[in-house]
């Protein structure tokens, strides 16, 4: 199944995390929204995100090591543009973490933050 998903992520305390090529970023306490896409394997991608122990491949892998997934919203779609459309909409409402998770598109980010 192809699709786009949003991970709802809780960071319980401020933490500086090395995030691969983005370097070291400070994540404030609060709620984060990460937009991702999985072509040919939405269920498998979501299961991977839920595992605590895994090889770090994407930016989000580094953040998930120090946070909790509170929920997942997903939609089945064949349109790759859906991921960026959702990211664009979230970016209008929440603070974005520049260049996070958007290395394969023109979006400013695929990770958004709401302080709690």
Average confidence score pLDDT of the chain: 94
Where do runs of H (alpha helix) occur along 20-106?
Answer: 42-50, 59-64, 81-93
Read off the pLDDT band of 20 (50, 70, 90). Answer: confident
Show me where the domains of the chain are located.
3-115
Contacts of 80 by beta carbon, 8 Å cutoff, 6+ apart: 37, 39
**pLDDT 10s digits, 51-103:** 988 999 999 999 999 999 999 999 998 787 899 999 999 999 999 999 999 98
SS3 55: coil
Provide the whole-model pTM: 0.94
């Amino acid at each position: 199944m192809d699709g786009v998903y949003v991970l709802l992520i809780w960071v319980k305390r401020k933490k500086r995390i090395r995030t691969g090529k983005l370097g070291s970023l400070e994540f404030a306490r609060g709620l984060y929204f990460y937009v991702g896409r999985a072509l040919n394997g939405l269920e498998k991608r979501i299961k991977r995100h839920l595992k605590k122990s895994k090889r770090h491949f994407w930016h989000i892998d580094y953040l998930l090591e120090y946070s909790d997934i509170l929920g997942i919203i997903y939609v089945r779609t064949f349109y790759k543009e859906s991921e960026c459309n959702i990211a664009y909409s979230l970016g209008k409402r929440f603070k974005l973490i520049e260049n996070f998770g958007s290395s394969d598109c023109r979006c400013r980010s695929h990770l958004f933050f709401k302080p709690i």
